[in-house]
Amino acid sequence: MIKTVKKYFALLIAIPIWVGCSSAWSEGERVLINEADYSRMRVVTIANEADSLLLRTPSKPLTQRHIKAPEFGRLVASMVETVGDPENEGVGIAAPQVGVLRRVVVVQRFDKEGTPFEVYVNPEIVARGERVVLGPEGCLSVPDRREDVSRATEITLRYCDAVTFELREERVEGFTAVIFQHEIDHLDGILYIDR
């Protein structure tokens, strides 16, 4: 699984960078991302008042300039390291959870062979199936809690391809659909405990 993720990030990092263009990332974002240097990042939690306010703030979309800048590859690699931390492992993470208010998530695809982690840029749910189930959820940003949440068992996901920046749509079902709903809520400033 980690080998698949590393191959994916090697491809992202190999994307040509616009020569002479300043980064689309803010100075604060660049500092936070570069400090992590491809390793685990601090997870912001509701236990800290400033973190809690950040988690309640909607995220901004990424542009092609964001993706072509070196910070993008560093951010997503660090997000994968963070969600895969054996001491605090998760199945998905959104950029706001590491302090970056941008619309990017990393989701473990339990609906694919090998259950890889994949990166989604500017994801949105454009349709939800009628069937809803109540199931337990937890969150890296809401430590030591689990609650039951109602989620659709099927969604239609739209996102930008991180390499071509083309719009893609796919139908996602089951537990993976629940993960996407949880992580996209983070991008909108919503925590599962709000539901």
Rounded CA gap, 182 and 160, in Å?
A: 19
Query: Token pair of 174, please?
Result: 């089951």
Rounded CA gap, 77 and 12, in Å?
A: 10
Q: Is 89 a catalytic residue?
A: no
State the DSSP H helix or E strand holding residue 144, giving kind and residue range, or none if neither: strand 142-152
Rounded CA gap, 143 and 45, in Å?
A: 7
Rounded CA gap, 96 and 84, in Å?
A: 17
Classify burial at 78, counting beta carbons within 10 Å of its beta carbon; exposed 0-12, middle 13-18, buried 19 or more.
buried
SS3 106: strand
Rounded CA gap, 158 and 170, in Å?
A: 7
Name the active-site residue from 81, 118, 137, 183.
183
Residues 91 and 108 sit within 8 Å (Cβ to Cβ)? yes
Rounded CA gap, 194 and 78, in Å?
A: 27
Q: Annotated catalytic sites, by residue?
A: 183
